[in-house]
């Protein structure tokens, strides 16, 4: 079922934008105004084009029905039947496409992300699993042409991470990885296990959209900076200068350390990015808690305590518990081949939202 009033409003605005763009180009408008108009026009174009296809198919269907009701010639009736069948298929296709295009857009989908991975239950094995997850996501970022930046990490001494925070910079990063927040579980024989027994360990993943300064205002008097000499891997220059920083945010109690960069200023910039993302996420979680129906309609995009996925190495399978999907390709998934999983989650999320939208229209 289509919301025709909304579609007609979009078409009116789309035509207005085309006229405004034409006038703005002719009058030599500022580049900022031209860019704003072009961006809005580009956002509405898929809806406008799909609606035009829908209206054309609808008219073709009416024409075919008229011929069948009024025409006696067998050849004309045969052509009309073929046209009616094709029009019905096109109507269904364009209606489904429009329903997806009309779903409310997540304003954070195009943003970069801050990702935090923390070892959970399982001691050293959970830290090793956290390191596997970090490599999985950084490999996925490389596959998509995105850039990663390490912020901070706490190693366990045998190649694992008790916790690690990093940035993924790339258009649409949040839209693809927002479903990864939650508890990830691994079942395998740990490297530290001599008896060959299968252990179950966990790690927690948090995915937060990077917040702009206009999204979160941080008062200078609400934060305190400490600087210190970096430790661990990072190169001779890092370890001999006071480049590492520790940020304390008094109102929230959040403490962030960053020592990956040789420059103290760069480390401060990264720490502020993480702080803004955490504060922004806290506010989003508060709103989600106030909108229980919306939260329940989403496919696990916020609850960090939710067990979302199991990686079972002896059976070679990965199971996402939210959509009951099992794939027997654990080696490629842990190597960063996440598209099949993420696309299935996105499709399920869209289906849930479509159902909710249609129920509200009915």
Using one digit for the tens of pLDDT, what is the confidence trace for 273-290? 999 999 999 988 887 776
Q: Are residues 247 and 339 in the same domain?
A: yes
Predicted confidence (pLDDT) per residue in 125-146, tens digit: 999 999 999 999 999 999 999 9
pLDDT of the residue at 300: 53
End of a domain among 78, 101, 124? 101
Distance CA 167, CA 175 (A): 15
Residues 197 and 327 in one domain: yes
pLDDT grade for 294, boundaries at 50, 70 and 90: very low
- Examine residue 198 and state whether it is found in any structural domain, yes or no: yes
**Residues 290, 163 share a domain:** yes
Q: Check residue 236 and give its pLDDT.
A: 40
Residue 327 in domain = yes
Say yes or no: 126 and 93 in one domain: no
117 within some domain: yes
User: Nearest to residue 182, comparing CAs of 283, 310, 292?
Assistant: 310
Residues 71 and 130 in one domain: no
Q: Give me the sheet containing 244-249, strands edge to edge.
A: 223-228, 244-249, 254-258
Residue 329 lies in a domain: yes
* Confidence at residue 360, expressed as pLDDT on a 0 to 100 scale: 63
- DSSP letters for 21-88: HHHHHHHT--HHHHHHHHHHHHHHHHHHHHHHHHHHHHHHHHHHHHHHHH---HHHHHHHHHHHHHHH
User: Model confidence over 227-285: pLDDT tens digits?
Assistant: 987 765 444 444 456 789 999 999 999 999 998 778 889 999 999 999 999 999 998 88
Overall number of domains in the chain: 2
Q: Is 309 a member of any domain? A: yes
In a domain, 108, yes or no: no
**pLDDT, tens digit, 9 for 90 and up, residues 314-347:** 999 999 999 999 999 999 999 999 999 999 999 8
When the pLDDT of each residue in the chain is averaged and rounded to a whole number, the result is: 86
Per-residue pLDDT tens over the stretch 185-205: 999 998 767 677 899 999 999
The span from the CA of 191 to the CA of 203, in Å, is 17
9 has a pLDDT exceeding 60 = yes
Based on the domain organization, do 155 and 20 belong to the same domain? no
Range of the domain at 131: 113-351
pLDDT for res 213: 78
Radius of gyration of the chain (CA): 26
CB atoms within 10 A of CB 276: 21
Residues 85 and 125 in one domain: no
**Domain termination site, one of 101, 132, 159:** 101
Does residue 33 sit in the same domain as residue 170? Answer: no
Q: Which CATH number belongs to the domain containing residue 341 in this structure?
A: 3.30.70.1660
- Which of 101, 133, 162 corresponds to the end of one domain? 101
pLDDT at site 223: 94
* Same structural domain, 79 and 117: no
Mean pLDDT of 286-304: 56
Asked whether 316 and 331 are in contact (CB, 8 A), the reply is: yes
Residue 18, pLDDT above cutoff 50: yes
**Same domain? 66 vs 169:** no
The rounded percent of the chain whose pLDDT value lies above 70 is 89
Write down the pLDDT at residue 100.
79
Per-residue pLDDT, 284: 83
Q: How many other CB atoms are found less than 10 A from the CB of residue 168?
A: 23
Q: Are residues 82 and 166 in the same domain?
A: no
List the one residue out of 346, 207, 221 whose CA is nearest residue 281.
207
Residues 126 and 160 in one domain: yes
Distance CA 183, CA 150 (A): 21
| Residue 356 is assigned to a structural domain of this protein | no
Q: What digits encode the pLDDT tens for the residues 34-70?
A: 888 888 888 899 899 999 999 999 999 999 999 999 9
Residue 361 falls inside a structural domain: no
């Amino acid at each position: 079922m289509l919301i025709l009033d909304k579609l007609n409003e979009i078409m009116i605005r789309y035509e207005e934008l085309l006229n405004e763009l034409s006038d703005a180009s002719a009058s030599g408008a500022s580049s900022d105004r031209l860019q704003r108009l072009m961006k809005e026009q580009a956002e509405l174009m898929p809806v406008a084009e799909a609606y035009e296809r829908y209206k054309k198919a609808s008219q073709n269907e009416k024409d075919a029905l008229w011929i069948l009701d009024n025409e006696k010639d067998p050849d004309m009736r045969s052509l009309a039947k073929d046209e009616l069948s094709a029009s019905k298929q096109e109507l269904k296709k364009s209606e489904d496409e429009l329903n997806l295009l009309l779903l409310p857009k997540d304003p954070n989908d195009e943003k970069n992300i801050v990702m935090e991975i923390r070892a959970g239950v399982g001691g050293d094995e959970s830290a090793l699993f956290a390191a596997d997850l970090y490599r999985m996501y950084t490999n996925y970022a490389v596959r998509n042409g995105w850039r990663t930046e390490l912020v901070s990490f706490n190693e366990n001494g045998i190649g694992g991470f008790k916790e690690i925070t990093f940035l993924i910079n790339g258009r649409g990063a949040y839209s693809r990885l927002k479903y990864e927040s939650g508890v990830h579980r691994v079942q395998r024989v740990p490297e530290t296990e001599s008896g060959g027994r299968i252990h179950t360990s966990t790690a927690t993943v948090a995915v937060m959209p990077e917040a702009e300064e206009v999204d979160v205002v941080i008062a200078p008097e609400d934060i305190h900076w400490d600087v210190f000499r970096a430790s661990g891997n990072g190169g001779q220059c890092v370890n001999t200068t006071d480049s590492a920083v520790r940020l304390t945010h008094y109102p929230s109690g959040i403490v962030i350390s960053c020592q990956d960069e040789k420059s103290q200023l760069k480390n401060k910039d990264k720490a502020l990015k993480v702080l803004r993302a955490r504060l922004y996420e806290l506010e989003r979680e508060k709103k989600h808690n106030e909108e229980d129906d919306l939260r329940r309609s989403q496919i696990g995009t916020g609850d960090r305590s939710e067990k979302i996925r199991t990686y079972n190495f002896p059976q070679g399978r990965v199971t996402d518990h939210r959509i009951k999907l099992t794939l027997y390709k654990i080696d490629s998934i842990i190597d960063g081949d996440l598209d099949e999983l993420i696309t299935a989650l996105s499709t399920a999320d869209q289906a849930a939202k479509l159902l909710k939208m249609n129920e509200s229209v009915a």
